[in-house]
Amino acid sequence: MRAVFLLAILASPLAAEDIVFDGMIAMRCWEGSGVDCAGLAARRCIEESPEGLGTALYSLCFYREAEIWEKQVEIEMAALTEQASEDDTANAEYYDTSTLPGSQVLALEEMQAAWEGFRGARCDAVAAEWAGGTGRQPARAECIMRMTAQQALYLARMPENRIAQ
Encode the chain (165 residues) as per-residue pLDDT tens digits: 333 333 333 434 455 567 889 999 999 988 887 778 999 999 999 999 887 678 899 999 999 999 999 999 999 999 999 999 999 999 888 888 788 788 999 999 999 999 999 999 999 999 999 987 899 999 999 999 999 999 999 999 988 766 544
Per the CB < 8 A criterion, the answer to whether 75 and 155 are in contact is no
Model pTM score: 0.83
Q: At what angle do helices 2-11 and 54-91 cross, to 10 degrees?
A: 140
CATH of domain 2-161: 1.20.1270.180
For the chain, the domains span: 2-161
